[in-house]
Amino acid sequence: MTKTKIGIIGGSGIYQIDGLQNAAWHQVDSPWGSPSDAILTGVLAGVDMVFLPRHGRGHVHSPSTVPYRANIDALKRLGVTDVISISACGSFREEMAPGDFVIVDQFIDRTIAREKSFFGSGCVGHVSLAHPTCPRLGDACETAARDTGITVHRGGTYLAMEGPQFSTLAESRMYRESWGCDVIGMTNMPEAKLAREAELCYASLAMITDYDSWHPDHGEVDISDIIATLTGNADNARSLVRRLPALVGAERQPCPHGCDRALDHAILTAPDARDPALVARLDAVAGRVLNR
């Protein structure tokens, strides 16, 4: 048994957790650069909680400039065991309407301008992403959403685009009709990949704000409509988060899906061939396997 520490990565419109006891903001140093912002820690319903605003308070980071590696490394350094990612997205499905939530279970990564791994020359590692989210955490998010009264869809494929521009009509139609995607956003990749490399259980909670540009009755994405929907979604998301500690629990067994053991057989570089400088940067992310 280990002590649970839930990390919430808040997306657009989510800049805090309500009701935290002993709440305090902390600067966390990372060898991968500075995280998006200071990190809020506290206790909610007897469970340790950590909150990181993905875009920074005041929304200062674009999707492409979010320091994804520093964010995940910082959460790992703080002892986070379970990460719930909350983000805004567009929908490719009529039944997945603005205001609904989707518990994402698959991704297609179309980002091109981001560092996507902690590993590289001098310490090569390959983790499995066949199932990139943790079903156990997905269960908790689904129950919390339904208890909150949110319309939630379990399962969906998230198309991660680079942005910051929204899709062309041709792209929107391709992602929906040819690729079979369900939602589209700009921030869950490489976040999910890095969480797996850091052996963190990860769940993605996508808040639908619009129908992208494919829908004949809605036309192009309008940022004013997105902001209006975000306001309601953010209130629902904060209510959902308040229910998570009781569902996840203060103590946890090893992840039944192996998220917390993702590096068991992932590192291929022989110990005597590893770059000491890179190994030092990996102390939090991969120290469990590099130091044994």
Beta-carbon contacts of residue 243 (< 8 Å; ≥ 6 apart) = 143, 144, 147, 148
Q: How many separate helices (H) and strands (E) can be counted in the chain?
A: 7, 13
Instruction: Copy the structure tokens of residue 135.
Output: 């079903």
Phi and psi torsions of 35, nearest 5°: -65, 175
**Terminal CA-CA length for the chain:** 20
Question: What would you report as the CA-atom Rg of the chain, rounded to the nearest whole angstrom?
Answer: 18
Its sign, for the CA torsion 212, 12, 37, 249, is negative
Our answer to whether residue 212 is catalytic in this structure is yes
Q: How do 47-53 and 2-3 pair as beta strands?
A: unpaired
CA dist 10 and 53 (Å) reads 5
Our answer to whether residue 225 is catalytic in this structure is no
What 8-state DSSP symbol labels residue 165? Answer: S
Buried b (16+ CB within 10 A) or exposed e, 259-278: bbebbeebbebeeeebeeeb
Catalytic residue among 100, 210, 235, 272: 210
Catalytic residue among 147, 212, 222, 235: 212
**Catalytic annotation, residues:** 210, 212
